[in-house]
Amino acid sequence: MNNIAGLIKKLLVRGLNSSEKIQLSEDQPMKDLLSRQWEEKTDRHIQEDVDSNLIWKNITAVCWEKNDPVVAKLTKKTRLIRLASVTAAAVAILCIGMWVATVMTDSYITVTAPLDSKMAWVLPDSTKVWVNAGATLRYKKEFLQDRRVLLDGEAFFDVVKMSASPFRVHFNGSCVEVKGTVFSIKSEQQKAEVILFSGKITFTAPESEGAVEMDPSDRIVYDVVNKKVMLTHVDAVEYDWRSSEYRFSDKPLGELINFLNRTYKIDIVLKNTAYEKSQFSGVIRKDEPLEDVLDKICFTFDLKLEKTDDNIIL
């Protein structure tokens, strides 16, 4: 192993001759190391924007030095075989170099959802996170020692309870601390939003008057610019963006109509206010046309629909 370490050091300073390069590429510990790295894979993906011709030129410049007496004696066929071996060694060392740069110099793992879709992620403590499109989640590799994540964008958390280790999410200079619960956070440049679905969490913001304890269905909107915290009570079902549908249980019709007005950007008026407290239980798909939703409501409550130029009357 000491011999291999010496060869790697020589390679990094371009001190290897051809036979040493071949020896390095064929060494069993090196093959085992690369195999383990391939199987385990890193949690960080590197996107490279490089010139492949330039990489090849640099490899051949190192591998085929004109003054190398070993290379000069090779036949054309042997040179091709040796070139393939040496190239593999060079690529292997390049991979090792990238792994060292990623793992050794960056103590964080970064998870970024595609710009056009959300993704699910499981943290080392089995906490489930749904990362919305374009959002980024970062956490330390030693996560189990300090359950702390950094969020930029929107994410939904289902946190595993560990009595000895609270779970913290940092965003917009603020922090949410929990021990086991379900909640969502939307972190934007000028405001942040926290919605609690179950359990209990504590919200803390800079320059605010102490921590805010949140109960299920509480919603906090934090004004990042003015450092103001506004706490309201909402129907958390309306804010669960993970699924493709809303599942309502005993939702007052007046509140449901307000929800439809916000969601479909329409003006629906309930003419008979006696129906405002009537409860609706059912499923509405997020891509369901408004006409179909209104048909469900009219059928459930035996209402009639009238359309005017400005609004819809039930």
pLDDT in tens, 1-22: 557 666 665 555 456 666 666 6
Write out the residue range of the structural domain in which residue 263 sits. 243-313
Same domain, residue pair 116 and 223: yes
The residue among 55, 77, 103 that closes a domain is 103
The residue among 77, 103, 129 that closes a domain is 103
The low-confidence residues of the chain, meaning pLDDT below 50, are 13, 41-48, 65-68, 70-78, 80-81, 83-105
pLDDT of residue 249: 86
Same domain, residue pair 88 and 122: no
- Give, as one character, the DSSP assignment of residue 163: T
pLDDT of residue 84: 47
Q: Are 249 and 269 in contact (CB under 8 A)?
A: no
- What's the number of domains the chain is made of? 3
Kindly write down the DSSP assignment for every residue of 50-116, as one continuous string: --HHHHHHHHHHHH--TT-HHHHT--HHHHHHHHHHHHHHHHHHHHHHHHHHHHTT--EEEEE--TT
pLDDT of residue 311: 83
The residue among 103, 123, 140 that closes a domain is 103
pLDDT of residue 181: 93
* CATH code for the domain of 146: 2.60.120.1440
Of 60, 94, 57, 54, whose CA–CA distance to 79 is shortest?
60
pLDDT of residue 194: 96
